Amino acid sequence: MMVGLFKNEVKKLYSHWRSFMGYILFLVLIPIIMWAYGKGADGIPSAFPENYSDLFLFTGKLNNGLTAAYFVLNFFWVHIPFLIALVGGDIFAGEEAQGTYRIYLTRAVPRWKIFVSKVLASFFYTFTIVVLFIIMTLGLGLIWHGSGDMVVFHEGMLILPQSEALYRFFLAYIFAFSNMLLVNIIALFFSTMVKNSIGPMVGTMAVIIFFLALTSLPLDVFDSIRPYLFTHYFDNWKIMFYDPIPWGKVVQSMLVISGHSIILLFAAFYIFNRKDIVS
Amino acid sequence: MRRLLLLFLIISFSFAQDDNKAITILQGINANYSAIQDFTTEIKVDINLPGFRMPNKDVKYFYKAPDKSKIESKGFAFVPKDGILPFAELVKRDSLKNLTITEIIGDTVVITLVDTFQNQEAIMTLKVHEPSATIIQGSASINNQNILTFHIHYISIHGIYLPDESAIDLLLPPDFKKIQMLGTSPSQAKKFKEKIKDNKEWVDGKIHLKFSNYIVNQGLSDEIFEEAVETVD
């Protein structure tokens, strides 16, 4: 039964054109960025004083698919949440707005199963968005700009060999996926509370923007509260490219992100389970 | 008056002798380089520059006389030219400014001269092992600061001396510290800028090269060098 419910939810999810916005955006925008990257990115951005570069013989290039993928990831991590919120925010509230809850919830299917199927469907969407993102950044980047060593900016310049860089990307994408799941869960949580899908979408974005502002504003007064904000860990996928990887920080980030996710997921279930359907 | 004239002649003669000896030594180094028509070698490169971290690299170096060279590596790499055939261009020249022998310690002769280095006038000091006609230590000094120093151990291959190991010390301008700001948050960058604002100390860097698997005078094709070497600005 669960599989049937899940399939049904996925079908409903993709019946809205907005669900395809994320895919379309990636399919159009990332190739443009990749093209522009090939036209204008610098390899070693004047790291060596000009006079000194004459002293050396260089080989290989740092402008390659791996560096391009890192560059795009750096740019997009703050935007993907909005695409996720567009879909997650609709998954419960959309039913209520259309009045289909009354029919759906009066069938002999336990509410928890409906909840789980909806959550899994939205997780599936998040997963496909991240997979497409990987294909469009790393895959397209490697095809378009070739492979090689990767340059990472962390307290200077760090050159990662290709094999090491691919492993780091794998870890970074897992981390990014867990962050996106949290965004999805926030949208789901809001979605269980209201009767139209605009509210959860805007609400999720507002929460993210608010927390991101507190996280990124270079004001010392917010230093003490930052560790408690989930957005503080949003760009922690970058630490997967540090040398050495600060595993302590990775574990702390994962605990905060998964802690938020679990609490909000249970809260969403609690609200959904007790919901009085009057529409 | 005669004594003064004699003293002047003796001093002039001894300086001329000094110059001649220095020229002869440089010619000896050039003769060693001239015996090389081409060679390839594998180099293990270990770079240690503050704010620039790169794993040790295995690089293949190609050289063909008189001035073709290139490196190949899996991924990105760079090697300092003077760590391989030090001052190869300089010792070819007919005239050199202020060429002087400043010290002789057993088989080793220290020669100084003035030349252009990084578009500035620099004092070059070459410590030459006379029997093998090899530069075992060299430095370039601008405004009394040693910008570049290298120590090289050689091995003899078919009677030609080629580097076995090179250690290069670089002194980079204070601005080079800014590289450490890359990838830091705006607040960290601000703090770092404050920290280095009054610090005008130059930055030390070290590069170590270990050579192996030389193949000398095998008749390298020019085509190897035709392929554009990918450089990074």
Q: pLDDT digits over B157-189, tens only?
A: 888 888 999 998 988 777 777 766 666 666 666
Query: Chain B residues with CB inside 8 Å of A51's CB?
Result: 118-119
Over range A104-129, report the average pLDDT: 89
Better pLDDT: A139 or A161: A139
pLDDT classification of B231: cutoffs 50, 70, 90: very low
**Residue B203 φ then ψ, to 5°:** -105, 130
Chain B residue whose CA is closest to A238:
B183
Helix (H, G, I), strand (E, B) or coil at A174: helix
Query: Chain A residues with CB inside 8 Å of B73's CB?
Result: 59-60
What are the respective helix, strand and coil percentages of chain A, to the nearest 5? 75, 5, 25
Query: Considering only CA atoms, which of A134, A150, A127 is closest in space to residue A72?
Result: A134
Interface test with B, best of A57, A71, A237 (most B CBs within 10 A): A57
Residues A239, A155: contact at Cβ < 8 Å?
no
Which residue has 């800014």 as its token pair?
A: B178
Q: Is B207 on the interface with A (CB under 8 A)?
A: no
Instruction: Give B181 to chain A, closest Cα distance, Å.
Output: 6
The predicted pLDDT at position B190 comes to 72
DSSP codes of every residue in A69-84: HHHHHHHHTTTHHHHH
Query: Chain A residues with CB inside 8 Å of B82's CB?
Result: 55
Of A61, A155, A243, the CB nearest to B232: A61
Residue A136 CB-half CA count within 13 A: 23
The predicted pLDDT at position B97 comes to 72
Residues A253, A233: contact at Cβ < 8 Å?
yes
**Which of A99-103, B58-62, B186-190 reaches the highest mean pLDDT?**
B58-62
The pTM for the full model equals 0.75
Instruction: Give A39 to chain B, closest Cα distance, Å.
Output: 14
Query: For A185-199, b where at least 16 C-beta lie within 10 A, e where not — what string?
Result: bbbbbbbbbbeebeb
Better pLDDT: A263 or A76: A263
Task: Give, rounded to a whole angstrom, the gap between the first and last alpha carbons of chain A.
Answer: 26
DSSP code at position A243: S
Q: Do A60 and B230 touch (CB under 8 A)?
A: yes
Residues A113, A5: contact at Cβ < 8 Å?
yes
Tokens of B93: 């020249």
Angle, nearest 10°, between helix axes A162-193 and A247-273? 20
The predicted pLDDT at position B84 comes to 84
Percent of chain A with pLDDT over 70: 94
What average pLDDT does chain B have? 79
Residue B128's H or E segment, with its range, is: strand B120-129
DSSP code at position B130: T
The predicted pLDDT at position A115 comes to 92
Chain B residues 113-152 within an 8 A CB cutoff of chain A: 118-119, 148
Pairing of the two strands A157-160 and B52-53: parallel
Task: Please tell me whether the peptide bond between B66 and the residue prior to it is cis, using omega within 30 degrees of 0.
Answer: yes
Q: Is B34 on the interface with A (CB under 8 A)?
A: no
Tokens of A57: 């013989």
The predicted pLDDT at position A172 comes to 92
* Torsion angle defined by CA atoms of residues A67, A69, A75 and A78, in that order, rounded to the nearest 10 degrees: -140
The burial of A78, by beta-carbon neighbours within 10 Å (0-12 exposed, 13-18 middle, 19 or more buried), is given as middle
Model confidence pLDDT, tens digit, residues A247-266? 999 999 999 999 999 999 99
Q: Is B68 on the interface with A (CB under 8 A)?
A: no
Model confidence pLDDT, tens digit, residues A126-142? 999 999 999 999 999 99
Q: Is the dihedral of CA A265, A266, A271, A277 positive or negative?
A: positive
The burial of A157, by beta-carbon neighbours within 10 Å (0-12 exposed, 13-18 middle, 19 or more buried), is given as buried
pLDDT classification of A45: cutoffs 50, 70, 90: very low
Chain A residue whose CA is closest to B191:
A218
Looking at domain B2-220, its CATH architecture is: Clam (2.50)
Q: Where are the beta strands (DSSP E) in chain A?
A: 56-59, 150-153, 157-160
Query: Considering only CA atoms, which of B70, B132, B81, B121 is closest in space to residue B98?
Result: B121
Query: Considering only CA atoms, which of A190, A225, A224 is closest in space to residue A205?
Result: A190
**Residue A197 φ then ψ, to 5°:** -80, -15
Q: Is B53 on the interface with A (CB under 8 A)?
A: yes
Residues B176, A49: contact at Cβ < 8 Å?
yes
Interface test with A, best of B41, B182, B207 (most A CBs within 10 A): B182
Bridge partners (DSSP) of residue B155 are B162
Instruction: Give A111 to chain B, closest Cα distance, Å.
Output: 46
The predicted pLDDT at position A178 comes to 93
Tell me the C-alpha distance between A14 and A20, whole Å: 7
Q: Do A156 and B79 touch (CB under 8 A)?
A: no
Instruction: Give A159 to chain B, closest Cα distance, Å.
Output: 5
Query: Considering only CA atoms, which of B13, B10, B33, B4 is closest in space to residue B162?
Result: B33
For the cut 60, the answer to whether the pLDDT of residue A162 exceeds it is yes
Residues 6+ apart with CB under 8 A from B202: B145, B171, B172, B173, B174
Q: How many helices (H) and strands (E) does chain B have?
A: 3, 12
Of B75, B173, B229, the CB nearest to A148: B75
Residues B85, B93: contact at Cβ < 8 Å?
no
Over range A22-43, report the average pLDDT: 84
Residues B32, B134: contact at Cβ < 8 Å?
yes
